[in-house]
Structure 1
Amino acid sequence: MTAESDSAVGVSATRATIADAKRIVVKIGSSALTSLVGGLDVGRLDLLADAVEARMRAGTDVIVVSSGAIGAGIAPLGLTKRPRDLATKQAAASVGQLALAHAWGTSFARYGRTVGQVLLTAEDIARRTNHRNAQRTLDRLRSLGAVAVVNENDTVATAEIRFGDNDRLAALVAHLAGAEALILLSDVDGLYDGDPRKGHAVLIPEVNSPEDLDGVVAGSGGALGTGGMASKLSAARLAADAGVPVLLAAAADADVALTTAHVGTAFAGRPVRLSSRRFWVRHAADVQGDLHLDAGAVTAVVGGRRSLLSAGITGISGRFYGGDVVALRDPDGLVVARGVAAYDASELTGMLGKSSSDLSPELQRPVVHADDLVSVAT
């Protein structure tokens, strides 16, 4: 960063918020912890643990989301590259997860700090009950003074239900745990308007609105990870949308990222934080079906933030039950909102297009209540 940009960083309200946050999630990428030749790099892991411990001693609760399980298992199994088939990925994860957890435990033990491993799958976040259980576990570990080290449970996750990368997992955990900031650390030092490896790319120090990302081209992951800039950008936008400010920085700058936050790219969080339930509906839950709406219903739901009534529904698709999350689509088929259905799909079949007065009393409540409905456009 130039002296001029560093000066601008110093007065950023977003960076001040991240630096002062009392509860944060720190996500550490595979490339910051492992190599294809040597596997897990304990020296680099120790330096990152040092930075986390310093932040904790300064009075901040820290949850670590650690990638690297598959990368840590590659060398011990005699593999020469990251596996592509699911069975070998899971085998590498089973070996690497043990080494990774032991390394974090040993590193924090230097400070008399206990580590608790929390392995999650996409299903744990998508299901409301599991979601709450994970939340309680993280809260209890924190209250006991332990460091929660979270990773995706690669040994059982399948291609269909994976988070896809730990960047998204970190964004979900940040909201799940009520974090005030999310710090994404990897082998890149910030968001650029193009690929910095090709030259002429310019660092974007601050992202305060979607317009700041116009023209930005984000790439995919490297040899050891599944993320990449596209993944980090998506995760940063997800967290910021939920009201959690984000710092994207290099793992080599962890000490600065975890103190003044005067490095990398800062993403401002939306002014009003989504409630836990509304965040779950919008970002975490699996969609089980679709409700097709007429134009009037779209206006009422999206523009007026009103409950969805059966009169505005023109069709349904998918097999879902009361309490499941469904997508709400406009007459052109575009998803305009998500919400929690109050009825089974089979019940709704006979209710389509009917006003409440034409239905029996037990079917006169909204199909999706306004409190359980989140527009995807805001």
Structure 2
Amino acid sequence: MSRAALRGARRIVVKIGSSSLTDASGGGLDSGAVTAVADAVAGRFAAGTQVVLVSSGAIAAGLAPLGLTTRPRDLATQQAAASVGQGLLVAHYTRAFAAHGLTVAQVLLTAEDVIRRAQYKNGQRALERLLALGMVPVINENDTVATDEIRFGDNDRLAALVAHVVQADALVLLTDVDALYTGHPRLADSRRISVVAHPGELDGVEVSQRGSGVGTGGMTTKVEAAMTATGAGIPTLVAAARDIAPALAGQDVGTWFEATHARPRTRRLWLAHAASTRGSLMLDDGAVAAITDGKRSLLAAGVVDVSGTFDPGDPVELLTPTGSVVARGLAGYGSEELPERLGLSSGVLRERFGADRPVVHRDDLVVLRPKVHRTR
């Protein structure tokens, strides 16, 4: 899918950050910015494209009502600001989209909702139904009750996961920087990177610049989200929020990340990027080769150690002999019954226990690729 194909996409996920929705002082929502987002998204709806909007801004919106001038550092005050600001944020979106005859549906998620499989599937069904009914889902992290997840990457990672959940044709990440550059955007010799066809093209590219004072992300989280999405078969555009209309129209703005892999099953993406593991299994070299190069199931004969407490069906990490994470999968045995089976062949398992099954079946296993982008 090319950048130009955005104009005819069936379904798009659009994410916008806090800094792009607040006024110049960072002390409150900019109603003009919210209206601009609604106008552009409504235009895509009118053209027949379904849009899921992942929007930050709840904490930023709650600063002014609480008499705060900067984003609080302590968790309790962040949660209070989110509680006050979320209603204001949705009220702004409700008014802005109502002008186009569209209804907003608020969806609040925490990382737990994409970590636990049942909640993940429930969210998928709910979003599909909302889109079928012609709603505009506005998704935000549930910062009021989140703990560590409140620093989830400024919703960028969440947006990438949502894009796969709803089977989007593309992901658009809007920020206050107009594109990814070869160096820091303020340097005279930095040049806009128009297209990233493969992750290796980012070797040596500076992506560590910090986000604004009201947000939590920066270009690093945008690139990481783009790698997650493109690795799942979803092309991604990173562009400036002020360019939302030309971005959604497929014009040459921002940086376009081409999809690098076929779209995996939802379970595999969940395992790779969302699942919270309950333990780990250390493998020998033969087992590592079998699950990576051979694409086989993990058998007990190749497991040399077990860590953590988990039940059958729980996500676990699979480690190389040096301790590096090479894959994730759903355990076929619990942590209590697995140790007595370590290193045993299938024949011995059948003889000793009456049956044998894979420690992790290949259909429940995903090999993890290492991070490919680097910063200077």
| TM-score computed with the length of structure 2 as normaliser | 0.94
Aligned Cα RMSD in Å?
A: 1.4
CA contact (8 A) 2:13 2:51 kept: yes
The amino acid of 1:142's aligned partner reads L
Cα offset, 1:349, TM superposition: 1.0
- Alignment: residue pair count: 366
Q: In the alignment, which of 32, 36, 45 is matched to residue 47 of structure 1?
A: 36
Cα offset, 1:362, TM superposition: 5.8
Q: In the alignment, which of 343, 357, 364 is matched to residue 372 of structure 1?
A: 364
Residue 144 of structure 2 is matched in structure 1 by: 155
| TM-score computed with the length of structure 1 as normaliser | 0.94
Larger deviation, residues 156-165 vs 181-190: 156-165
- Go from structure 1 to structure 2 and tell me whether the alpha carbon gap of 1:170 and 1:189 turns closer, same or farther (over 3 Å shift): same
The amino acid of 2:235's aligned partner reads P
Q: In the alignment, which of 81, 94, 108 is matched to residue 97 of structure 2?
A: 108
Residue 11 of structure 2 is matched in structure 1 by: 23
Give the 3-state SS of the residue equivalent to 2:159 in structure 1.
helix
The 2-side partners of 1:161 and 1:97 are apart by 14
Q: In the alignment, which of 70, 88, 111 is matched to residue 99 of structure 1?
A: 88
Is 1:350 aligned to 2:328, yes or no?
no
Q: Please show how residues 166-205 of structure 1 align to structure 2 within 5 Å.
A: 166-205=155-194
Give the 3-state SS of the residue equivalent to 2:89 in structure 1.
helix
> Structure 2 stretches of 5 or more lacking a match?
371-376
Larger deviation, residues 191-200 vs 135-144: 191-200
The amino acid of 1:369's aligned partner reads H
C-alpha deviations, 1:153-177, integer Å up to 9, x for none? 0000002575232111100100011
The 1-side partners of 2:150 and 2:306 are apart by 24
The amino acid of 2:84's aligned partner reads V
- Go from structure 1 to structure 2 and tell me whether the alpha carbon gap of 1:126 and 1:307 turns closer, same or farther (over 3 Å shift): same
Q: Please show how residues 253-272 of structure 1 align to structure 2 within 5 Å.
A: 253-272=243-262
Q: Please show how residues 181-330 of structure 1 align to structure 2 within 5 Å.
A: 181-218=170-207, 219-330=209-320
- Go from structure 1 to structure 2 and tell me whether the alpha carbon gap of 1:162 and 1:369 turns closer, same or farther (over 3 Å shift): farther
Is 1:89 aligned to 2:78, yes or no?
yes
CA contact (8 A) 1:281 1:338 kept: yes
Give the 3-state SS of the residue equivalent to 1:371 in structure 2.
helix
Residue 323 of structure 2 is matched in structure 1 by: 333
The 2-side partners of 1:222 and 1:32 are apart by 9
Cα offset, 1:336, TM superposition: 1.0
Residue 6 of structure 1 is matched in structure 2 by: none
C-alpha deviations, 1:18-63, integer Å up to 9, x for none? 3332111000111111134540111111011000000111110100
The 2-side partners of 1:134 and 1:237 are apart by 23
CA contact (8 A) 1:37 1:75 kept: no
- Go from structure 1 to structure 2 and tell me whether the alpha carbon gap of 1:318 and 1:160 turns closer, same or farther (over 3 Å shift): farther
Is 1:59 aligned to 2:48, yes or no?
yes
The 2-side partners of 1:293 and 1:30 are apart by 43
Is 1:139 aligned to 2:128, yes or no?
yes
The 2-side partners of 1:363 and 1:282 are apart by 29
Give the 3-state SS of the residue equivalent to 2:239 in structure 1.
strand
Cα offset, 1:358, TM superposition: 1.2
CA contact (8 A) 1:18 1:247 kept: no
